[in-house]
């Protein structure tokens, strides 16, 4: 058997080393390894717990609002509070704006160049020479839309900044709600941005995805994955302390081994069988996870940990959300939804779905009404959990706070650890992560030009900056390299 190594995979967030074994040009095994080692969870230890929703945004510059939301929800949970309606809605509008930005960014500026041939200049080169199939006139239109999407992304940031103060890292999401007060001028300005962005999604983004799907229809049968889906739910539509069961725009749930079931966060664990950590985290629930790095651990190949749901690998993201919530357009694809092109389609239709909902939400704001619930930290050790949906999938923050109001344990279990974490178990009991499973069985036409592999990876929209966020407490340099 021969090996193909792509290191790093480009046009994703962060650093991924992809290694596969091929036999007769078919992938028979795969390893997805996160190679960048960063620091946030240990940075938080000992700090005032109320700083968390600001600090965790720095985990990622593409999806910081998701981390701000999960971090604030964990603090709400720890303090036993809930935002008032205005606070809930404004949080939803900021997060929704970030979704618009992230989904447009992903398709056009990360994934589209696998299917759309740009001119032989940067940023369209260098690239793998894919089997470009779009007719010349359609391809030229797609390049124009690619360039237009840069402006639309900027406007999505500006739209979110109306309520967030700024983007990518927002200032107004705080424990108990937000610090931004609505008025009619902000509502009107937000609607103007939203109408333009929705028009782009409905008239250009979705039609182009459908056109790509038509010319690359075989990609509805490539990149299947585990076919287990998990959704924490997101965008709450009512007040209530039970973040799993209360009504949300996308409700919580799972799809496991062909059956729809209720979500039970108590069975979520993290494992490190093939991760560069000591085994003191294996089988732990996220609120007690301990991170002891071991860069020389035998058999390990990733800095990502491996979340499991009652031992099962679960795919998260737009496809998981839409499948769990039974979106009719996605369900109509049947088994073809479990694919590279199915993931792209689900992401596009949910962008439109969310834009329509945001028009309704912003008109529900009541100027002059409260935006934040007064609060204070308990005088005892508590644990808060914040579960939401980032643009890339299920995001959970577990925050253990000591009696003096300081962060004792912080753990962010992010979408890319669910999708791209390494395998667990061994022998017949080995459970590969969803991305590894999606890659196995793929035919690679030219091992020297493995575009098929990166197409599968990019369909998940991975973010390794989010997924790898630990460091040595004393800042010690473990290894240093010069890469030419």
For 167-184, how does the pLDDT look when each residue is reduced to its tens digit (9 = 90+)?
889 999 999 999 999 999
Tokens of residue 319, six digits: 């496809």
Quick check: 436 pLDDT over 70?
A: yes
For residue 292, what is the enclosing H or E element? none
* Separation of alpha carbons 473 and 277, rounded Å: 15
Tell me how far apart the alpha carbons of residues 456 and 114 are, in angstroms, rounded to a whole number.
10
The backbone torsions φ and ψ at residue 191, rounded to the nearest 5 degrees and listed phi first, read -60, -40
| pLDDT tens sequence across 377-408 | 999 999 999 999 999 999 999 999 999 999 99
Look up residue 36 and give its two tokens: 């960048």
Per the prediction, the chain carries an average pLDDT of 92
Q: To 5 degrees, how large is the angle CA 433–CA 437–CA 441? A: 165
Q: Alpha-carbon distance 458 to 456, whole Å?
A: 6
- Quote the pLDDT of residue 482: 36
Rounded to the nearest 10°, the torsion over CA 90, 96, 98, 102 is 180
Tokens of 421: 């974490």
Q: Report which secondary-structure segment, H or E, holds 16.
A: strand 16-23
Report pLDDT for 61: 76
Residue 119 has phi, psi (to 5 degrees) of -65, 160
Average pLDDT over every residue of 39-67: 87
Tell me: domain 2-467, CATH 1.10.645.10, correct? yes
- On whether the CB atoms of residues 451 and 114 are closer than 8 A, the answer is yes
pLDDT band for position 214 (cuts 50, 70, 90): very high
- Measured between alpha carbons, how far is 118 from 136 in angstroms, rounded to an integer? 11
* Confidence grade of residue 157 (pLDDT, cut at 50, 70, 90): very high
479 pLDDT higher than 80: no
Q: What is the pLDDT of residues 273-327, one digit of tens each?
A: 999 988 866 567 888 876 778 889 999 999 999 999 999 999 999 999 999 999 9
Interatomic CA distance for residues 115 and 133, integer angstroms: 7
pLDDT for the residue 15: 82
Partner residues linked to 237 by β-bridges:
none
Q: Please, which pLDDT band fits residue 76 given cuts at 50, 70 and 90?
A: very high
Confidence of residue 244 (pLDDT cuts 50, 70, 90): confident
Q: Model's pTM, two decimal places?
A: 0.93
Sign of the dihedral through C-alpha 351, 319, 229, 62: negative
Provide, rounded to the nearest whole percent, the portion of the chain with pLDDT above 70: 94
């Amino acid at each position: 058997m021969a090996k193909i190594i792509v290191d790093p995979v480009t046009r994703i967030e962060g650093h991924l080393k992809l290694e596969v074994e091929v036999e007769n040009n078919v992938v028979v095994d795969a390893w997805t390894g996160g190679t960048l080692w960063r620091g946030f969870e240990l940075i938080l230890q000992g700090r005032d717990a109320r700083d968390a929703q600001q600090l965790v945004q720095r985990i990622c510059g593409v999806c910081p609002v998701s981390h701000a939301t999960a971090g604030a929800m964990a603090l709400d949970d720890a303090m036993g509070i809930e935002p008032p309606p205005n606070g809930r809605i404004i949080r939803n509008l900021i997060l929704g704006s970030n979704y618009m930005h992230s989904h447009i960014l992903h398709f056009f500026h990360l994934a589209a160049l696998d299917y759309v041939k740009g001119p032989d200049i940067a940023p369209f080169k260098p690239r793998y020479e894919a089997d470009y199939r779009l007719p010349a006139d359609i391809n030229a239109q797609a390049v124009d839309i690619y360039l237009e999407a840069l402006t639309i992304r900027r406007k999505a940031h500006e739209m979110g900044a109306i309520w967030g103060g700024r983007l990518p890292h927002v200032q107004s999401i705080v424990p108990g709600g937000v610090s931004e007060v609505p008025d009619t001028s902000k509502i009107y300005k937000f609607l103007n941005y939203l109408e333009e962005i929705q028009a782009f999604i409905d008239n250009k983004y979705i039609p182009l995805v459908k056109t790509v799907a038509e010319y690359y229809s075989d990609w509805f049968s490539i990149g299947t994955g585990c076919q287990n889906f998990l959704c924490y739910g997101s965008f709450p539509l009512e007040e209530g302390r039970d973040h799993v069961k209360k009504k949300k725009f996308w409700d919580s749930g799972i799809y496991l081994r062909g059956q729809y079931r209720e979500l039970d966060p108590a069975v979520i664990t993290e494992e490190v069988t093939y991760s560069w950590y000591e085994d003191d985290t294996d089988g732990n629930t996220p609120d007690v996870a301990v991170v002891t790095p071991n860069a020389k651990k035998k058999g390990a190949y990733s800095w990502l940990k491996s979340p499991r749901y009652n031992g099962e690998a679960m795919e998260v993201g737009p496809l998981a959300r839409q499948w769990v919530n039974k979106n009719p357009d996605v369900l109509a694809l049947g088994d073809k939804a479990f694919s590279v092109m199915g993931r792209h389609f689900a992401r596009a239709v949910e962008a439109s779905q969310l834009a329509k909902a945001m028009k309704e939400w912003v008109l529900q704001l009541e100027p002059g009404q409260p935006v934040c619930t007064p609060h204070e930290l308990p005088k005892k050790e508590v644990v808060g959990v914040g579960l939401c949906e980032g643009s890339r999938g299920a995001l959970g923050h577990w925050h253990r706070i000591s009696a003096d109001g300081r962060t004792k344990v912080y753990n962010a279990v992010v979408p890319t650890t669910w999708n791209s974490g390494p395998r667990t178990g061994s022998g017949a009991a080995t459970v590969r992560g969803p991305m590894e499973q999606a890659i196995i069985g793929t035919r690679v036409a030219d091992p020297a030009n493995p575009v098929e592999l990166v197409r599968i990876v990019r369909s998940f929209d991975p973010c390794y900056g989010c997924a790898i966020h630990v460091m040595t407490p004393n800042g010690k340099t473990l290894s240093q390299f010069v890469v030419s």
